[in-house]
């Protein structure tokens, strides 16, 4: 009979999941995904169950990586929160299975995984697409994703200046106090992104907060929020003037309001760039529209479980 699943708590996941291990595995997984070989990677577009009464959704995100034999699903609830709300906007749990028998090997916290794998994929996009000499990073939003993006972007690259904007100045100030390095707080998005080489949008907005007219030509935008077909973070001008990269085309055309409502064309998946089948147009203005993928959770969960087993 199978062993009962181990339970891996949030603080343990935090200590076990490191960007230096995670980024190379995510790059391999994204590349495999973009080869569109269903004998290698199986990942349906996430199923969402609306929670109308609470302004949220339950997302089911299964994935199977055949060669690595990783079978996993994440269950994630995400919500549109009013300004000043203290309720979390994302809650997640990850289940790692034994694919041969079907038993669950591990149940683990999914919040750290979601924060770190999303930020790591944005860092991969920046590595491929940001201008060669990038000095200024602006983060729009000051929540969980803002912090994980700050951490991986400052660990991976050397920006001369990091700026933050949030719709409440106090939140941006609290964020700036919580980071290891110096972060400047800006009161308007227009000023915060002026001259920025890399812009990360990690807000809970459902209307555009970043407008193309403010974005420096050639800048790279990693757009992480707005993951419903009627939600936006970026305006039509930016979406149409930029070369648009995505994690999954199938996911993007089903779920991204920024893509669907602007009519922007998807230029490439990150995995296609990693595979060398589509170019990285670094000299152009680029948007990486991130929606999040089950395979990203799957490789993260495998890594956490491996590290956990090494310690027990
Ligand atoms: N692409 C992906 O893989 C993932 C995307 N997300 C999305 O990333 C976004 C940020 O997530 P978290 O940092 O976990 O949330 P959080 O609640 O910790 O932070 C959200 C931030 O956005 C700001 N915000 C909320 N509503 C806003 C509005 N209408 N206009 C401007 N700013 C607003 C808040 O003040 C806060 O600074 C959310 O949209 C979430 O759904 C989350 C996980 C994965
Ligand atoms: O990939 C993910 O976990 C999510 N994408 C949008 C909200 C949660």
Q: What DSSP line would sit under 89-158, residue for residue?
A: SEEEEEEEE-TTT--EEEEEESHHHHHHHHHHHHHHHHHHHS-SS--EEEEE--SHHHHHHHHHHHHHS-
Nearest CA to ligand 2 atom 6: 227
115-293 and 6-113+295-311 share a CATH fold: no
What superfamily would CATH give domain 6-113+295-311? ornithine cyclodeaminase, domain 1 (3.30.1780.10)
If you measure from the C-alpha of residue 1 to the centroid of ligand 2, how many angstroms do you get, rounded to a whole number? 34
CATH topology of domain 115-293: Rossmann fold (3.40.50)
The residues, ordered by sequence, that sit 6+ positions from 207 with a Cβ below 8 Å of its Cβ are 232
Q: Which atom of ligand 2 is nearest to the CA of 292?
A: 1
291 alpha carbon – ligand 2 mean position (Å): 6
Do the interacting molecules here have an ipTM over 0.95?
yes
Q: Name residues contacting ligand 2 (CB within 6 A).
A: 59, 76, 78, 90, 114, 227, 291-292
pLDDT along the chain (312 residues), means of 10: 91 98 98 92 97 97 97 97 87 98 97 98 98 97 97 98 96 97 98 98 97 98 98 98 98 98 98 98 98 98 97 92
Domain ranges of the chain: 6-113+295-311, 115-293
Ligand in closest contact with the CA of 77: 2
d(CA 205, CA 159): 26
The model carries a pTM of 0.98
The structure tokens listed for 151 are 């951490």
């Amino acid at each position: 009979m199978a062993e009962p699943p181990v339970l891996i708590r949030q603080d343990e996941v935090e200590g076990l999941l490191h960007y230096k291990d995670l980024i190379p595995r995510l790059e391999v997984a994204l590349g495999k995904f973009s080869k569109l070989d269903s004998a290698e990677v199986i990942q349906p577009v996430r199923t969402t169950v609306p929670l109308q009464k609470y302004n949220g959704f339950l997302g089911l995100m299964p994935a199977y990586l055949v060669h690595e034999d990783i079978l996993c699903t994440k269950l994630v609830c995400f919500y549109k929160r009013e300004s000043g709300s203290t309720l979390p906007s994302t809650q997640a749990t990850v289940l790692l299975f034994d694919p041969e028998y079907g038993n669950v090997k591990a149940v683990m916290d999914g919040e750290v995984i979601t924060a770190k794998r999303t930020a790591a994929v944005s860092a991969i996009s920046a590595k491929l697409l940001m201008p060669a000499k990038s000095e200024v990073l602006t983060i729009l939003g000051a929540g969980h994703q803002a912090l994980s993006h700050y951490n991986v972007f400052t660990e991976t690259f050397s920006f001369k200046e990091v700026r933050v904007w949030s719709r409440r100045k106090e939140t941006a100030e609290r964020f700036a106090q919580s980071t290891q390095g110096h972060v400047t707080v800006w009161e308007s998005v227009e000023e915060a992104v002026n001259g920025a080489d890399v812009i990360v949008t990690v807000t809970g907005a459902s209307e555009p907060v970043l407008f193309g007219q403010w974005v420096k030509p050639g800048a790279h935008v990693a757009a992480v929020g707005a993951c419903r077909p009627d939600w936006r973070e970026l305006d039509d001008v930016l979406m149409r003037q930029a070369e648009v990269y995505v994690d999954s085309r199938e996911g993007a055309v089903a779920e991204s309001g920024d893509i669907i409502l602007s009519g922007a064309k998807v230029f490439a998946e990150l995995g296609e760039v990693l595979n060398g089948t589509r170019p990285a147009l670094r000299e152009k203005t680029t948007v990486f529209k991130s929606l999040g993928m089950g395979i990203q959770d799957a490789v993260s969960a495998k890594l956490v479980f491996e590290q956990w087993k090494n310690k027990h």
